[in-house]
């Protein structure tokens, strides 16, 4: 019996056994590209974007005059440094004037703390940082600072003011720390000379606390190691070392001086030592860069003239000025120890005599003394024979140097001052020419440990920072006189009105 396969459809369909290739799909079809060739499309897009950014790296090109071509040859290293500095400035001007910043080069706004930011130098530094677009936190206890110096920033969302003494610990999240807090004039740092010296007893007490803590830490570490694996042992040692550094940083002595026990330091030396320790500890914890404003007083009554950064100084450790001189030398030591031992990024500036608006009217410094006395029709007080020499830099030059040092890659120390040298009699003559030619000069006995010569060698700052002062004394002094005149006679008018 024969059997067969019966197709039960409506109609029998003919089967074509001849092979035919799959029809090609059109490459120009977007549906085909997006659905079936997604990987190729992705790679093609990446390639296209890469070519675009290589050929057109910026949104808008800076003006042609903003950049000079690299010269064929340089006569020395100074020429190369000058070329880099000049073109960097021109580039910044081009960027800010056009309002558009090349892709990938926009500078991140920093969060900066300025201790002593309501003071003379600090307030001018705050102005520059705010104008640059940084968020600035001013920390000041107003011992010498004035709230009026920073009042024009009230209401600015990038400005904060904290009334705080840096001898007490402070916790902040910042990128940079400018440590300017310290009374810098003789009147202020001699106000309480005993309190200005932390003395050997503080350092001894501090050292004993450190040693005791080290012993306790060693015992704890040893006990943990007995019950831990080698890997856990390493972790324990690392943790204990971190805790030790943090706790040593925050060791603070606050005892009663009248009872014969040390009161943890003075206005100047306590700030220089304990305040610097606290700010260095903050920099270590948050990974901030730290700049210490030291002083030319670390050179004492110098035997080298002009003074280079390599000169170790000639300081009287038991003199009336030593509370300030030795305090700053100790602060420099602590700063370098934190750099070497804890890896903190630090910068050190040694500031020479600075003048300008917002100086305290009667702070004992020679420029402010002469200007205030001449405006009040008083005799100009000259101590000794008036042949002592000083150099005077305008505050804007100093602020520029501090910012270059902070942004640079060199630790320092750097002398920041004007190498123009004047005797006290020459300075008095300039003040007479500027304010009152009839002003008299009153000679008085010289003060103890008054340096005979003071002039900075700024060749290192010129070479490595590309910095040098621009404002001459005869150009900057009238700006200071205008500020003093407004404050002196403005205060008198207010007093007369209230009376």
In this structure, are residues 435 and 483 in contact, taking their beta carbons and an 8 Å threshold? no
- Determine the 3-state secondary structure of 253 from DSSP: coil
Q: Coil, strand, or helix at residue 396? A: helix
End-to-end CA distance of the chain: 140
DSSP track, 306-322: SBPTT---B--TTSTTH
CB-CB contact of 423 with 389 (8 Å):
yes
- Contact predicate 449/388, CB 8 Å: no
From residue 373, how far is each of 215, 369, 423, 432 by CA, in Å? Answer: 59, 6, 18, 11
What is the spatial distance between Cα 112 and Cα 29, in angstroms, rounded to a whole number?
56
| Chain-centroid distance, C-alpha 16 | 87
Cis peptide before 306 (omega within 30 of 0): yes
Point out the catalytic residue in the list 324, 338, 355, 394.
324
DSSP-derived 3-state class of residue 139: strand
Residue pair 254/244 in contact by the 8 Å Cβ criterion: no
Closest CA to 432 of 386, 492, 474: 474
Contact 424, 386 (CB under 8 A): yes
Rounded to whole angstroms, the Cα distance separating 286 from 67 reads 37
DSSP 8-state assignment for residue 261? S
324 is catalytic: yes
Catalytic residues, by residue number, are: 324
């Amino acid at each position: 019996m024969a059997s067969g396969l019966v197709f039960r459809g409506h109609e029998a369909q003919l089967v074509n056994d001849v092979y035919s290739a799959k029809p090609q799909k059109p490459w120009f079809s977007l549906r085909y590209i997006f659905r079936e060739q997604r990987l190729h499309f992705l790679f093609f897009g990446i390639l296209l974007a890469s070519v675009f950014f290589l050929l057109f790296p910026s949104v808008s090109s800076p003006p042609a005059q903003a950049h000079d071509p690299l010269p064929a040859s340089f006569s020395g290293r100074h020429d190369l440094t000058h070329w880099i500095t000049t073109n960097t400035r021109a580039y910044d001007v081009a960027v800010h004037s056009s309002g558009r910043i090349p892709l990938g080069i926009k500078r991140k706004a920093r969060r900066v703390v300025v201790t002593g930011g309501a003071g003379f130098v600090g307030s001018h530094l705050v102005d520059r940082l705010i104008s640059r677009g940084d968020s600035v936190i001013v920390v000041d206890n107003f011992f010498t600072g004035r709230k009026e110096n920073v009042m024009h920033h009230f209401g600015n969302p990038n400005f904060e003011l904290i009334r705080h003494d840096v001898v007490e610990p402070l916790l902040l999240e910042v990128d940079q720390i400018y440590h300017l807090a310290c009374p810098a004039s003789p009147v202020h740092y001699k106000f309480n000379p005993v309190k200005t010296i932390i003395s050997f007893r503080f350092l001894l007490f501090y050292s004993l606390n450190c040693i005791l803590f080290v012993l306790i830490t060693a015992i704890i570490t040893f006990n943990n190691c007995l019950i831990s694996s080698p890997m856990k042992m390493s972790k324990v040692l690392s943790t204990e070392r971190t805790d030790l550094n943090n706790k040593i940083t925050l060791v603070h002595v606050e005892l009663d001086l009248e009872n014969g026990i040390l009161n943890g330091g003075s206005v100047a030396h306590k700030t220089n030592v304990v305040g610097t320790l606290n700010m260095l500890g903050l920099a270590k914890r948050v990974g901030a860069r730290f700049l210490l404003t030291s002083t030319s007083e670390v050179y004492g009554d110098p035997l080298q003239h002009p003074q280079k950064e390599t000169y170790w100084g000639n300081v009287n450790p038991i003199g009336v000025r030593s509370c300030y001189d030795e305090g700053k030398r100790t602060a420099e030591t602590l700063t370098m120890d934190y750099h070497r031992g804890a890896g903190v990024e630090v910068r050190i500036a040694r500031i020479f005599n600075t003048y300008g608006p917002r100086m305290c009217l009667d702070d004992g410094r020679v420029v402010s003394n002469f200007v205030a006395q001449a405006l009040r029709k008083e005799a100009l007080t000259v101590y000794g024979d008036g042949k002592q020499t000083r150099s005077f830099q305008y505050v804007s030059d100093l602020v520029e140097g501090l910012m270059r040092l902070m942004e640079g890659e060199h630790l320092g120390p750097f002398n920041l001052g004007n190498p123009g040298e004047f005797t006290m009699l020459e300075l008095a003559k300039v003040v007479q020419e500027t304010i009152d030619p009839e002003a008299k000069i009153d000679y008085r006995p010289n003060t103890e440990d008054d340096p005979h010569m003071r002039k900075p060698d700024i060749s290192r700052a010129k070479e490595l920072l590309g910095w040098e002062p621009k404002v001459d004394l005869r150009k900057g002094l009238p700006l200071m006189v205008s500020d003093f005149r407004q404050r002196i006679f403005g205060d008198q008018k207010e007093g007369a009105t209230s009376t």
